[in-house]
Every structure is written in C-alpha cells, then in structure tokens.
Structure 1
Amino acid sequence: MAGQGRFYQKEAPFNSRKKSQSRSNAKQKRVVSRSDIVDRRKRARDHIKAREQANANRLHGEEVRAKRQKLCKEVAEKIVWRKFDRKNEAFENFYKQVMQTMYPNCDNFDKVWATFVKCIERSICVHFRFNLNHADLAEKALYLLESEIIPEYINNESNRQKGSEDLSGTEAAIQIAPLEWTSHNKHSLWKVSVDAKTFRKKESLMNIYNFVYENTKFGLIIRHDPTINILPELLSIQSSDRILDLCGGGGENGIRAPVIAERFSSPDSTGVLVVNETSIASGTVAIRNLSRTLTCSANVIVTTHRILDYPQMESMNDGFDRVLCMVPCSGDGLIRNCPEKWRTWTALKGVENHSKQIKLLTKALSLVKVGGTVLYCTRSMNPIENEAVVTAVLDNGLCEVELVDIHSIIDEKFPAFLKHPGVESWAVFGEEMQTLSSCEKLNEKDKTKFSSTMWPKPKRNLDRCVRVLPHENDTHAFFFAALTKCTAEAIPTVSAAPTAEKADKRPSDRHKQSSTGNHFTPLKRQNWKNLVQCYGLKSNNQDSFLQKRQSIQNGQYSVHLVSEQAIKILTSRHVGKLAVQRAGVEAFHLTPSISRVEITDVGAQALAPALSKQIIPLPIAIVEQLLDTKEVWNHQLPALTLEHVESLQDGSFVAVIETPCDQDEDSIGFITCVKYQNGISMAASPDLNYNRSRLLFLLSRYRNSQGSK
C-alpha cells in the first residue's frame, strides 16, 4: 500500500498539471477568438473606409481627369522633338535622286523640290471623314456641321475681322470644306487648313474642334489621312468578297476597316472582312476602336496571329478574294507627323526591312485564291521597300503573278487626285551614302546587309505601281502595287513554325487544329430555344449564331450573331488553329444551367427588329432619369410605361427610346435594362460608361435639333 500510495502521490501532481494546462489552453483559445473578432471588426472598418474612399474617388473622377489632362498638356509642351531643325542632308540627297526619276522632263525641278521640302517640314492638315456605316447619324451630323457649326464660325470670324485691325493673313486663310478630289461621296471627307495642334488650341476653332472630337469619340467621324479613302477602289471590292487586312495596325484598324466595310453596308451584301493583329494587346485596341466605328457588323472578324504564321486554308477555293498587305516599313512617308525621323533617318532603314517585306508579300499571295488580288502598300518613299520588293516577288517563280495597272482606276474614280507611276531605276546607297553598283562587288561585311533583289531589274512594268507624294494632295507619302494571282500552283507557306509538318505527324492534333478557333461552335438547339423563349426571336435562322464558352466553372456562353460568309471562314479547315478574338456581334450572354439569358447593348441594336418579347418603349424623360441615377422605381414611372414594365419577365430587357408622337422621327436608340420587383435599372456591362455617354450625346443632339425647330 505504501508503494501504491507513493504511486498515487506521484500521479496526482501530473493530473493537476494536465487540468491546469487545459484550462490555460481554453483561456488562450478564448483570447485568440477575441483577437480574431477584433481583427475581423478592424478589417470590416478598413473595408468600409476603402469603399467610401472609392466612392469619393468616383464622385471626384472629373477632377482627377482634369488634373490628368492638365499634366498631359504640360508634358506635351515639354516634348523636345517638335523644336529641333528639320534638316537631314542624307535624306535630302537620297530622295532628290528618286524624285528626279519621277520628274524626268521637268524644266523647273528645283522649284518642285523646294515645294516638296517645304511641305514635309510642315505638319499635315486636319482631315476627317463621316462614317457612312452609321449612315443616318452621320447624315444628321453632316447637316449640323453645314447648317450651324460652319456658318457660326464664318459669322464670328467676320465680326472679329471688323473689330480687329491687327488680323494677320494666316488667321484669315483658315478654310473648312470638303476635299475637291473626292468625287465619290463628295461631302463625306473634309479638310481644315490647319495642323492638329493649331486645331486643338485655336480659340476661334473651338466649336468645330469640340464637334469633331465628340463625333469621333462615338464613331460618327473618323480622323485619317485622306489617301485611305482610295483603298476600296484600288482593291476593287465587290459586295460578296472575302477581304483580309493581314498586317494589322491596332489603332489604324479603327480607321481602315470602316472605310473598307462601307462596301458591305447594303442589306444584300454577303462580304466579310477579317482584321488580323499581331498580338492580343493590339487586337484588344482594334476591337475597342471597331466597337465605336463598326458597332453592329456581323461580317467582321478579328484574329491575332504573327503575319508569317497566319494559318493557311486547306482548300484553295476557300482563300480570300482580296488581301490588304500594308507592311511595316521605315515610315519616312509619315515624316510630317513624325518629325523625329529627320534626325533618325539613314539610307539603311529601307535595307533593314527589305527581306522581311518580301516574305510578307509572299505570305499574302499564299492566302489569296486564284484570280484574287493583293494590294501591297507602304508609307515609305524608298524604292528598296517598294518597287524592289514587288520585283522580287514577280521574279521568285513560286507562282504566276500579274502586276495590275491601277492608274486607270484612280483616273476614273478620283480624276483630280495627283499621283505618279512607280520608278524603273534607282540607286542603292551604303551606310556612308556611297553608291553601290551591284551586289557582286560588295565586301563580305556588306553582303550580310544587302541582297541582289535590292537592285533594279529591267522591263518589270513597274510604272503600273502608284506613288503618292505629300505636296501634291496635302497627304502623307504612299506606295501602292496591286498583284493578281494567276495560277493555281500553291505558294509555300512562309512561316516560322512547322505547323503543317506537326499536323501530318499527329492526325489527332490536326483534327483539333482545324476546329473553329477560340472555341466558337454552332449554337446548341437547347440554347436556341432559350433565346426564342426569352426574347421571341422572329428569325428562324439558328445557323446565324455561334456560341463561345466564357466560363468553364459557371457554364456561361456568349452568343454571337455572325454572317454566313464569316461562319464559313470560322468553320473551314485550316492548317493550324485560327485564333479568333472577335467574331460578329456579341449579342447575348447565356447561362444554360439556370436558363438565364441577357442581351447586350450591341445585340439590342442589331436584333431589335427581330425581337417580340422583352422589348418596350421608354419615354425620353425616363431614359434621361435612368442615365442620371441608373435606376427608376415603379412609382416614378408613368402609368402606360408601368403597364409595359409589369408585362415583362424579371431580368434583362430592351428599351426603345421613343420620341414624342407628334414628331416624325425614328427612334433615337436602344438601351439595355434590367427589371426588378420594384423598378428598373441600367444593365451592368464593361462598356456601361461608354454606352451611357453615347446615349447622353445622342439625346442632347436630339434636344438641340428640336429646339432649333
């Protein structure tokens, strides 16, 4: 017992320690839980403060934007390159020889050269074009410009001249008028006889500048070089053609694509335009620009490929009818807008681009079908980037190619437009402006920089090419050459990746690659039934829609309205996968698991005539209240409007902005809203702010037009 007692005496302290330890652990847990509660409350307070700060930032967004604009303005004034001398002896010597071949029998060449140099030392004048893809709105904007904006400017200038004795002749000479050489759609292309900086800062032009700025922001006006206006004619575009803009250009495609797409504006048109960008970032920029200028175009596709890796179609009959190949170049034809080229230009700038330009033009010819045309275009005046590239492709023997005479097209469509034929001979200069007679006489170092294709070849009919000089039409410098593919022999694909070889080795991969790019697939029948059930689509053409998976986790799809020709391109078999970033009009967002269908703002504009459900008229006053507060309660709605709203199902619907009954006007536009139990609100979207601003702009214009009446 004594031993047992000693045993229990030893155990008793251990048990007591265990109990005390458990009590201390419980206390620590309670303390930890209390600290967690304190931390949660602190995080909640911080979150509320951050949210309040974010709301304050939104409320003061205009002040932030104003400060940002002021900072940008100050930085722009400090840019140095605007102030250096526009002189480059090598540039002048090089192009003086080129222009002497363009003016062979000119008695006063020195005067022509002086005019040319004086022109390229000045910035180009402002040109803008009314976007005929929005024909009704552009026509109203044109009427406003001609009937109010310009007469007001002329009246103010005449009053200012009467009250000012020190008016200079330069200020009095500012003209705003349509370009004379644009016989087709004469009043669509306009010129202001000042450069962009003066146009932006001159007080007397502020009303015209604001008019152009606002209409450009919403896609009714396009600012571009007027020479872009002749591209559709040089391509000889028909309403059923497949057209590829191969070399992209990011923001440039917001300019070129609308001009080309005007040929597809008629209801009977079946053509399609494919815009290729070289990266996803530039593709995003192009889509943002096209969303303004080509809002409801079901026949526009945006792809993202490196130019030399653009996938070939397996069938030659599925090729493109026209390919625009505006290749990267030295860009010395843009020297009026890029004056830094005065100090950076060297004779080797064109040499560096020559071999790549040959590959790009060869690639363009491989994508066009037999009988199709490739328009090769640069913004360079260098023959090594222009005529030498065309000569190299004509002589490479990969297939028979004919150089088309496009002078007759310009003479017929734009008789007042001044141009020159391509040059037949030119000199090749070295790094130190020494003349190089031939490729065979070069040293080993120079042979790595120059190739035999840079020297002129006789009898290549290069006079069929077109050169545009800056001083003759007040434009940038351009070079155009149209080549028609005459034979069915396949041109080997110029590509950096052996896609075709891999496809031959692995048939399963070939099947994957030839599927529709970026998961665009035909619309499932059940999804089509959901669209018809929700919105009462009158169209029976289910094949006009494609679906694209947006979220694997939630099973969400975007439904795109796409033209028949565009669907053929998307579903054709390619050697390699076609990377599609945009196809047609993104009309619906669909979640099949909960049978939810939401229509987009663009889808509402494109499909409004085909909707029989979830579409109601809204008075202008209610729309303005929606745009201001983003929601309207049921008790704030007029009786008739409330009756229309109550007839809708909860969820997304389309509101037609109705004009007063006594006015003979079309609807101003459409707005996508959401119906709740107690009211309606604007539908949230990534483009909500832009759509809101656009509707406010259209409503203000409508109010002004009614006030003038």
Structure 2
Amino acid sequence: GHYKDIKKENEKYEHYYKEQKCFDISQFEEFLNAMKQPLPAVFRITGYKRHAKQLLKNMKRNHFEDLTELKIGDDTVKPPVPLSWYPDDLAWQTDLNRGQIRKVPQLQNFHTFLIAESESGHITRQEAVSMIPPLLLDVHSHHKVLDMCAAPGSKTAQIVELLHRDENNSIPEGICVANDKDNKRCYMLVHQIGRLHSPSTLIVNHDASNFPEIFIKNDDGKDILLRYDRILCDVPCSGDGTMRKNTDVWVKWNQANAIYLHRTQYRILLRGLELLASGGQLVYSTCSLNPIEDEAVVAAAIHHCGGAVELVSVSLPGLKWSPGVSSWRVMDSDMNWYDTHDQVPEKKKNISYSMFPPGGQDVMEAMHLERCMRLLPHQQDTGGFFVAVLRKKKPLPWQKDELKCEAEVVEKSGSETTAETDLLAYLKDKQPPLTTSASNRQAPPRKKRKWEPGFKEDPFVFLTSEDELFLCIYLLSRSFFGLKDFPVNQILSRTTNGKKKQLYFVSKLVKNIIENNINYVKVINTGVRVFSRSANTQNDLECEFRLVQDGSECIEPFMSARVIPIKICDVTKFLLEDQPKYDELSEELRDNLKNLAPGSMIYKYEPENENADVGCELLLCGWKGTFSSRLYMNNHERMHFLNMVGVPV
C-alpha cells in the first residue's frame, strides 16, 4: 500500500523541533530514528477486575507458554511482555506483526483467541501512551467524571472500569458522562462502552468548548449545578506524536496546524476547568509534541485562572518521561520565529497572546510546567504524547455565583449575568485580553437555550407507577425473581408507544440527569439492558419478560429467587452444547432445577476456594424449559466464557 512508499522525512518538521529546543538536542537523532520505526502492537485486557485477572491467567497458561521457544525462520520470537507501568499486568506489548501471527501454526490459537476476545470487547487494541491519562485521573466509584472529547472511547472504557473498581457494588454511585462533538463518532462510543454493561454511563453529543450546564435535583428537590470530580480533556490535536502509526503525518506536517488548533484546545480546557468541582482534578492530554498545543495551552489557562488552578506532580512506577518545558517560541507560516507576542506583525492575527509563555522567569517557575509529562518515542518504544494533571483549588475568578456560595442552590432559570459576561468583566481589568471566541463560555439562561434536535434519537421513557408495565414488572419481578429492593423506577424503555420489548436500567444519578435535562442535553445512549420480552408462545409462563446477559451483574445482587448454583463441569456443558437434556447434567444441578417453574433464571458459579482453577464468579443467563435448559447469550459471549473456564476454543 501507499504507507510503504511514504518517505519518512520532513525538513520543516526537523528544523522546527531542533530549533524549538523542547528535547535534549543530543538525543534528537535517536528521537528521529525512533519516530521512523513501526509501533509495536499493544493490547489491553479490559473489563472488571475479577474477570480480567482470570482471562489473564488463562491467556498466559494457554497461549504464552507455547511462544517461549518459537522460531520464525532463524529468528527466535519474543513472547509478549507486560507494560511495566500498567497495573496488574493487564496491558501487553508484542513485536509480532499480524502477518507472522497469521502464518505460524503455533500462533494460530493465540490469533483466534485475540480475535474472539476483541469481538466480545474483553481485549482491546490501544496505543500504550493513550492508556496513561485515565490512570492519572485517579477515578473512584463515587466520582462524577466527564470525558469531554471521548470518541472512539478506549480511554472512556478505562474510566468506566475504574468507576466499577469496587466489586461489591455493581451500581457505582458515581457516573461517567462521555461527550463527543461528532454525532457519528458518538456511535463508536456506544459500541465501545456498551460492552462494559454499566448502568452509570451517559453518552452525549455537544461541542466540548461550549459544554452545557447540567442540573440535578438534590435530596431536598432543589436544582443544583452538576460539577465533576474528575475531567478528561483529551483534545483534538495535530497528532504529530503519532507518526509511527499514522505515517501520512510525515507528508502533511506543517507548523500552521498547531496555531490553527491552539484556540480550540484552549477553549475546551477553560470550559473543563469551569465545570470541575473545587478540589477536583482534570487531565489535559494530546498526541502532539508541539508546545503550542501543550505547555502553551496549559500555561495560558493557569494564568487566566488567577491562582485557582495548579499543576499536580504525578507519575506511574516504571514509566519513563521528560518534564514539560517552560520556554518556547512561535513560528508563523513563513517560517519566521517570534519569542514574544510584541514581535508579531499586525497582519498575523492568528497568532495570539495565549501561544506565548505568559510571563518572565519568575512567573513561569511558579507554574511548575516541569510537572507536565512529555512521552518521547525513544524512551520506551511508544508514540509521542503529552499529559498534564491540573487541580482546581477554588472557583475561577469569573464564577461569581460559585464564589459567593459554593454549596448554595443556583436558580435553574439562570440569572441575566451569564458566565460569559462574568468572564469578560473579569478580563477587562486584565492585560492582555482573551480573544472573545475563547470566552464564548457558558450559554445564556436556560429558557433561551433549548436545542432544536437536528437528529432523531429514540426517547428515554422511565416506567412510572401509572404505567401498566410498571405494575407487571414490579409484581412479577418481586414474586418471580424475588427482586425485593430493586429500584424499578430506574428502568426505562426507548419507545413511547406500542409494546415495549426491551427494558434498560440506569443508576439513580443517570436518571436524575435525564429527567432534569432532557430538553437541554443531547443524550445519545444510556442504560444497560436488563429485561427482554419473551416470544411467549406457551401461555403457561409466569413471567413474560426474561433476564438479559448484559444486565446480569446489575440485577443478580437483588435476586432472592431463580439464582441456581452451578459447577464448572455443567458450565462447560452448557457452553459447548446448545440445549443439553436434564439427564446430561450433574445430579446436583438436576436437583436444584427440579422444583423451579419454567422461564428465565441465572446460573451462578462461585469458586470453592482461592486455589480454584476458575477463580472468579461467573453469572450466566439461562432458561429452564420442560425437557432441557439453555443459556441466553450470543456467540461472542459464549466464546469468552469458554476462554474464562480455560476450554481451548
């Protein structure tokens, strides 16, 4: 293909980075050579911890042991190695290319395993450096997290996994709001995050630099502004750190890209800092090495926030990186360098104040830009990347309402002073002024800001006690599944009319957001499917809804009936045969099923002790028929469970 023909040279690029002095110049050749090498393949075992650890154990045992002595021609194959800085050995790097994996018989099983687990979403191909921002966010299960530029969603998936880190609680009290400006890319998010079956995620479609205010009702029923404990701000960038993967950047690179993108990046970061709760943390990241997109954006934001925001010193054990720089220059499209904004000719209006260091040596030292992390390709065989972690110490100077009363309730209609006028008033006394486009902040009061849907999303309709279906689910789930304390009012459907076939479950906070913002926030997707209407051919069924595999983790903790214990021998039987007859199952399982009415149920495997071969709990949605029983899961899920119990697929 054309990738092989691309000449990995660009004189402008070399000249720019040599002169910019943001690397140790003695390592420049090493840096450049590393940029020309193909990137090693990296994959991550995804999902919630106990499953991920079991899959890792089986992968090492069933696949990596074959690879230790393997030769391709005269070359000994290096087996995959874990990334030293990624927790629990859940991320792996391999120098095997796809061609080798397909050609060599011993690698064939590994290849089949990788494909099956990628399709079911339990393994994901992800660049090593892109795994870093979510790890540095330090997410806990009670946090409200916003991912501002989330598509395609591999970082978001990491955030959702961290939200579910407390394995005793399948419904975290926190939330992950995943946003993307591009409607089509939002559906990539639906696919990526949907595999995790979390009731605590919300996918929305807005311009990050003008992300709307979201209101929630507090316990007293009053409207309060939603502020986030953690925000990921992985902004659109020139991508010049990705040349190892996107080789066409060698041809397309020019110095103007960064200047064009800087303003958008700056606006997104400022909006993120406004939405962040005091005491909260924001991670700003790019896959560019250009200081105009990196340190300049961070420094301008810190400067304009007047002491409200600081850089945090962070690291990951085993990760190599270089500190951020505190001096840089700006190059225009004619390749002229400028050290300060005063040197820029009047006609170069696209070069703004915010692209330059915002002060002298004292100001810059006080900012601690060395706390930013620059990841260079020759340091650890990765792509190029930039990350900064910012903490908000107090409300921003122009957030007047929040300065007056951080915890006080804000009127929903909004006051006539918007954040935008607050910001402009604040900046009038400051020199240099912010470009007005960068201050296009919080939109005016609610009543003016109802969006006109240009796209048609299915509605989100919660079951209410007036709803006939509510009664059906409420009564049947209580009597049939023993769901005593299950919050039925957090169940929604995606249709207002006709027979509701699929029912979804969301956490309390997601419901609060949807009910209070449905006309102001463009929600693309939320909820995990918990019930599906059975094709009720036999009228002797007690419950016309069946449970769904996706929702089993959410719903099983509430069930006091129809959860049947199962041993691995029977699990394997069900996975390998579509509908085993009762006499093919173990006597113990037959006894457990004997008095159960036909219909939907959950098989639950629990390890007998810590040394059990399958060391984690498994929940399998099943159906009890008259003569046989079966599982309700698709082929990808079936393959995944076979890998979990260690049966070669």
User: What range describes the TM-score normalised by the shorter chain of this pair?
Assistant: 0.7 to 0.9
> Would the aligned equivalents of 2:43 and 2:93 in 1 still touch at CA under 8 Å?
yes
Change in Cα spacing, 1:561 to 1:643, as seen in structure 2 (3 Å) is: same
The amino acid across from 1:84 in the alignment is I
> Would the aligned equivalents of 1:418 and 1:472 in 2 still touch at CA under 8 Å?
yes
| Mapped partners of 1:204, 1:428: distance in 2 | 53
Q: Deviations over 1:640-661 (max 9, x none)?
A: 8677667444543334579999
Quote the sequence identity (%): 23
| Mapped partners of 1:633, 1:148: distance in 2 | 30
> Would the aligned equivalents of 1:222 and 1:255 in 2 still touch at CA under 8 Å?
no
Match of 2:247 in 1: 339
What is the CA distance between 1:283 and its match in structure 2? 2.9
Match of 1:556 in 2: 500
SS of equivalent residue, structure 1 residue 446: coil
Change in Cα spacing, 1:534 to 1:335, as seen in structure 2 (3 Å) is: same
Match of 1:402 in 2: 309
> Would the aligned equivalents of 1:428 and 1:435 in 2 still touch at CA under 8 Å?
yes
| Mapped partners of 1:702, 1:321: distance in 2 | 42
Q: Does 1:537 pair with 2:488?
A: no
Question: Quick one: which of 227, 230, 234 aligns to 1:322?
Answer: 230
Q: Does 1:302 pair with 2:203?
A: yes
Q: Does 1:277 pair with 2:174?
A: no
| Mapped partners of 1:644, 1:340: distance in 2 | 61
What is the CA distance between 1:564 and its match in structure 2? 4.4
Question: Quick one: which of 399, 414, 417 aligns to 1:490?
Answer: 399
Q: Deviations over 1:96-124 (max 9, x none)?
A: 223x3443xxxxx34x1111111010111
Question: Quick one: which of 123, 132, 149 aligns to 1:221?
Answer: 123
Larger radius of gyration: 1
What is the CA distance between 1:600 and its match in structure 2? 1.0
| Mapped partners of 2:587, 2:85: distance in 1 | 56
Deviates more, 1:619-628 or 1:458-467: 619-628
Matches within 5 A, 1:645-684: 647-656=595-604, 669-674=618-623, 683=632
Match of 2:65 in 1: 151
Change in Cα spacing, 1:481 to 1:346, as seen in structure 2 (3 Å) is: same
> Would the aligned equivalents of 2:623 and 2:630 in 1 still touch at CA under 8 Å?
yes
Q: Does 1:547 pair with 2:491?
A: yes
> Would the aligned equivalents of 1:518 and 1:580 in 2 still touch at CA under 8 Å?
no
Q: Deviations over 1:560-599 (max 9, x none)?
A: 444445445445x4596233344343212469x9973221
Deviates more, 1:603-612 or 1:433-442: 433-442
Structure number with the bigger relative contact order (C-alpha 8 A, sep ≥ 6) is 2
Match of 2:523 in 1: 580
How many residue pairs get aligned? The number is: 582
| Mapped partners of 1:146, 1:629: distance in 2 | 26
| Mapped partners of 1:244, 1:347: distance in 2 | 31
The amino acid across from 2:83 in the alignment is L
Match of 2:388 in 1: 481
Match of 1:179 in 2: 83
> Would the aligned equivalents of 1:534 and 1:597 in 2 still touch at CA under 8 Å?
no
What is the CA distance between 1:478 and its match in structure 2? 1.4
> Would the aligned equivalents of 2:287 and 2:385 in 1 still touch at CA under 8 Å?
yes
The amino acid across from 2:261 in the alignment is N
> Would the aligned equivalents of 1:312 and 1:576 in 2 still touch at CA under 8 Å?
no
Change in Cα spacing, 1:419 to 1:519, as seen in structure 2 (3 Å) is: same
The amino acid across from 1:154 in the alignment is T
> Would the aligned equivalents of 2:242 and 2:384 in 1 still touch at CA under 8 Å?
yes
Matches within 5 A, 1:422-461: 422-436=324-338, 439=341, 442=344, 446-447=348-349, 449-458=350-359, 459-460=363-364, 461=367
Match of 1:519 in 2: 460
What is the CA distance between 1:333 and its match in structure 2? 0.9
> Would the aligned equivalents of 1:401 and 1:483 in 2 still touch at CA under 8 Å?
no
Match of 1:5 in 2: none
Q: Deviations over 1:500-554 (max 9, x none)?
A: 5473369xx79x9xxxx9535366462423321231114x2527x5122333332
Q: Does 1:97 pair with 2:19?
A: yes
Deviates more, 1:667-676 or 1:369-378: 667-676
Gapped regions of structure 2 (runs ≥ 5): 216-222, 401-418, 421-436, 537-541
Change in Cα spacing, 1:619 to 1:518, as seen in structure 2 (3 Å) is: same
> Would the aligned equivalents of 1:311 and 1:575 in 2 still touch at CA under 8 Å?
no
What is the CA distance between 1:465 and its match in structure 2? 1.9
Change in Cα spacing, 1:205 to 1:371, as seen in structure 2 (3 Å) is: same
Question: Quick one: which of 362, 374, 378 aligns to 2:282?
Answer: 374
> Would the aligned equivalents of 1:548 and 1:557 in 2 still touch at CA under 8 Å?
no
| Mapped partners of 1:204, 1:627: distance in 2 | 25
Change in Cα spacing, 1:452 to 1:342, as seen in structure 2 (3 Å) is: same
Query: Which of the two has greater helix per residue?
Result: 1
> Would the aligned equivalents of 1:523 and 1:542 in 2 still touch at CA under 8 Å?
no
Q: TM-score by structure 2 length? A: 0.76
Match of 1:129 in 2: 44
| Mapped partners of 1:122, 1:128: distance in 2 | 19
Match of 2:137 in 1: 235
| Mapped partners of 2:169, 2:634: distance in 1 | 29
> Would the aligned equivalents of 1:652 and 1:672 in 2 still touch at CA under 8 Å?
yes
> Would the aligned equivalents of 2:482 and 2:559 in 1 still touch at CA under 8 Å?
yes
> Would the aligned equivalents of 2:309 and 2:394 in 1 still touch at CA under 8 Å?
no
What is the CA distance between 1:249 and its match in structure 2? 1.4
Matches within 5 A, 1:42-57: none
Matches within 5 A, 1:559-638: 559-570=503-514, 573-574=516-517, 577-589=520-532, 596-616=544-564, 630=578
SS of equivalent residue, structure 1 residue 551: coil
The amino acid across from 1:290 in the alignment is I
SS of equivalent residue, structure 1 residue 377: strand
| Mapped partners of 1:118, 1:279: distance in 2 | 35
| Mapped partners of 2:311, 2:284: distance in 1 | 11
Match of 2:447 in 1: 504
The amino acid across from 1:300 in the alignment is T
> Would the aligned equivalents of 1:276 and 1:302 in 2 still touch at CA under 8 Å?
yes
The amino acid across from 1:606 in the alignment is C
Match of 1:73 in 2: none
Question: Quick one: which of 119, 122, 125 aligns to 2:34?
Answer: 119
Match of 1:23 in 2: none
Change in Cα spacing, 1:623 to 1:403, as seen in structure 2 (3 Å) is: closer
Gapped regions of structure 1 (runs ≥ 5): 1-78, 104-108, 705-709
Deviates more, 1:85-94 or 1:528-537: 528-537
Match of 2:214 in 1: 313
